[in-house]
Structure 1
Amino acid sequence: MDHIAEEINRDPVEVRMVNYRLQDNDLPKLVPMFLEKINYKERQERIKEFNKLNRWKKRGMKLNNMAFPTAYLGNYGALVSVYHGDGSVVVNIGGIEIGQGIFTKMAQVAAFEFDIPVETVSIIPCLNFATPNTFATASSITSECCAYAVIRCCDQIKARLAPFRAARPQASWREIVFEADAQGVSLQANYLTSDNDPRLINYSIFGIAVTEVEVDILTGTKWIVRADIFEDAGRSLNPGIDVGQVEGAFVMAISLWLIEDIVYNEHTGELYTDRTWTYKVIGAKDIPYDFRVFLRRKRPNPVGILGSKAVGEPPGCLGYVVVESLRDAIEASHRDSGYDTKYVCLEVPVNVESLIEAADVKLEEFVLY
């Protein structure tokens, strides 16, 4: 879209707006609202003024957006056990905790379904003999599918407890489960999701990212001045976790575009960049200096689990925006050099060499005054 916009001398946002799909797409109304929120036009003018006053440092700012389709696949199991002695709840799920906060979310889901304090719920790691035949923890839908399985387990237990609750509406949770156990009622339930379940309906996730960057034309060093990211998480199960997921996915993505390189032996085909010494994400001082993440408010997903949407991988699609922002900065340098280039070829990963080559400063410009 940016390339097309430059060739026809139009604003890239305008080109996007007239080319959005008409069905299942919230971007046409979200993009203008988001750009107004982050003062996009005013910042564009400030960048133009900065570039006019600085020959060897240039700034650029661009937008990227996404409509990410989800797809439920595979089976995810859950086993929920309520203990009659103190009313505590233990949840076992097929999903693996790998830093995405799934254990915290599942504790919240169980506590919400049973209407008990979240401190009452404990999560134990995946055990194959408790929740067998579970699909991989992947594709950004594990938390949702496990939450769905936990909800179905809780529904079974609540149905068994319903007669006791009806008979003693003022009784505490602990009293209800104690009496149910005394009457021989099972306080354990399991459930296995299926991608054939008609209640699991696919949907789209919308996101927008704008990055402002600064490039030192002489050295090729770069600085991500600011990143604004909008993520449609539906009614987030845990906003703190989901903001972290957005930040992490975006940093992984910009690491891909800025430093990930495939280096191999041209004679043997041996891959040299195959381990952590040669394959890294950007460091703490290289992430956006001003990093802002906004979750969509008051818009539950009508077909999502408790109104939520998947968060893990989708924000990674927005990371390419940093490449276009760097290209914007290099094009500002090109104009100062007198080039008539509408769209600069910027090789990825966008490292020092890539930026210096793309800037292609003319020799006669290197003058000491």
Structure 2
Amino acid sequence: QVVADHLGIDQETIQVTATRTDKVPNTSPTAASSGSDLNGMAALTAARKIRQRLEIFLRETYQTSAEVRFSRGLVRVGGNEITFSELARRAWFARVPLSATGHYATPDIGWDPKTGKGRPFYYFANGAAVTEVAIDTLTGVPKVLRVDILHDVGKSLNPAIDLGQIEGGFVQGMGWLTSEELVYSSAGELLTHGLSTYKIPTATDRPEMHIHLWDGANPREMLYQSKAVGEPPFMLAISVHSAICHAISSVSSDSKFWPQLNAPATPQEILRCVQCAANGS
């Protein structure tokens, strides 16, 4: 999408291949919500190099200093118009280099583990969530009914993808705080080692969701002023745990009661806290 937008061509004309060290020996992995930030910026850097060469070639060809515009598969300069594919063909015959390498390293970050000081992040993503839950006071089984989310993704690169990332991150976090329990035997053996015992959320656990993107650009110089959106929404699910605590506290006659609810808030854990609320302990 980034390369297509910069060169003014359809996304369908862009081919993405798997990462290989014979192409880029020190590429960054798609991890830690850095895929768009690092790889997107690197792709944009390479696309800028190619576009700049094409602009120089066009100005020399048409003997003009006019602005070159790339849009919808067409290239315009000084009253002249040709297709991008024709431009690429002419540039190839003129021996203009049509390949480029881009690399991006996040600036102004660093961390000293010995002193515990530094700047590990270039910017921060923010979000807010309001969650409604119901709990069965006889079994301790919780049910997340609804969630309203407002999340800051900077200037969204792709709203549809960003909304999906927020939804997925929230549901993952919901599982982390409610059902995904690590259980060990007395010998230290992990017992919840598969999907039959380690309970992750399924489609039936998805609550009614209302997600909105914060309308604002990243003040830092990032890819089209966007922000990472892979893992930050994960933390919005803390509202699920807080909502369960509120539900448990409503059982108590003491308005100041607040349950000591451990995470994950499994039915057993919730039932223990419900009994404490009912008994005033």
Q: TM-score, normalised by structure 1?
A: 0.63
Structural mapping, 1:175-254, within 5 Å: 175-196=86-107, 202-254=122-174
Structure 1 308/265 Cα, relative in aligned 2: closer, same or farther at 3 Å? same
Q: 1:350 aligns with which of 250, 262, 265?
A: 265
- For 2:106 and 2:139, locate their aligned partners in 1 and report how far apart those are by CA, in whole Å: 52
Q: Distance in 2 between matches of 1:311 and 1:340?
A: 38
What 5-or-longer segments of structure 1 have no aligned partner?
Answer: 1-107, 364-369
The residue type paired with residue 218 of structure 2 is N
What residue identity is the alignment partner of 1:218?
L
Q: Matched residues in 2 for 1:350 and 1:250: separation?
A: 16
Which residue does 1:295 correspond to in 2? Answer: 213
4+ aligned runs moved over 6 Å, structure 1? none
Aligned Cα root-mean-square deviation (Å): 2.0
Distance (whole Å) between structure 1 residues aligned to residue 8 and residue 214 of structure 2: 26
| 1:234–1:296 CA contact under 8 A, matched in 2 | yes
2:66 aligns with none
Return closer, same or farther for 1:340/1:245 CA change in 2, 3 Å cut-off.
closer
User: Which amino acid is 1:171 matched to?
Assistant: I
Residue identity opposite 2:213 in structure 1:
L
> SS of the residue aligned with 1:285?
helix
Please give the alpha-carbon distance, in whole angstroms, between the structure 1 residues aligned to 2:106 and 2:256. 50
The residue number in structure 2 matching 1:278 is 197
Deviations 1:338-361 (A, max 9, x none): x46521122322122122211117
Residues 1:264 and 2:181 are matched in the alignment: no
Deviations 1:112-134 (A, max 9, x none): 11011222212112122112222
Shift of 1:274: 2.6
Which has the higher relative contact order, 1 or 2, with Cα contacts under 8 A spaced 6 or more apart?
1
* CA–CA separation in structure 2 for the residues paired with 1:323 and 1:155: 46
> How many percent identity over aligned positions?
33
Instruction: State yes or no: 1:330 paired with 2:248.
Output: yes
| Cα distance in 1 for residues equivalent to 2:189 and 2:141 | 30
Q: Deviations over 1:33-85 (max 9, x none)?
A: xxxxxxxxxxxxxxxxxxxxxxxxxxxxxxxxxxxxxxxxxxxxxxxxxxxxx
Q: 2:30 aligns with which of 128, 133, 137?
A: 137
How many residue pairs get aligned? The number is 248
Q: Aligned runs of 1:1-369 on 2, under 5 Å?
A: 108-166=1-59, 167-168=61-62, 169=77, 170-196=81-107, 202-266=122-186, 268-288=187-207, 290-297=208-215, 299-303=216-220, 304-335=222-253, 339=254, 341-360=256-275
Q: 1:140 to 1:362 in 2, by over 3 A?
A: closer
Deviation at 1:197, TM superposition (A): 7.6
CA distance in 1, matches of 2:238, 2:266: 14
Matched residues in 2 for 1:313 and 1:217: separation?
A: 32
Per-residue deviation, 1:208: 0.5
- The TM-score with structure 2 as length reference comes to 0.82
8 Å Cα contact 2:92-2:98 kept in structure 1: yes
* Aligned partner letter, 1:175: E
Identify the residue that residue 83 of structure 1 maps to in structure 2. none
Provide closer, same or farther for how the CA distance between residues 270 and 356 of structure 1 changes in structure 2, counting only shifts above 3 A.
same
C-alpha displacement of 1:157: 0.7
Segments of structure 2 that go 5 or more residues without pairing to the other structure are 63-76, 110-120
Distance in 2 (CA, whole Å) between partners of 1:161 and 1:362 is: 74
Residue 196 of structure 1 and its aligned partner are, at CA, apart by 4.9
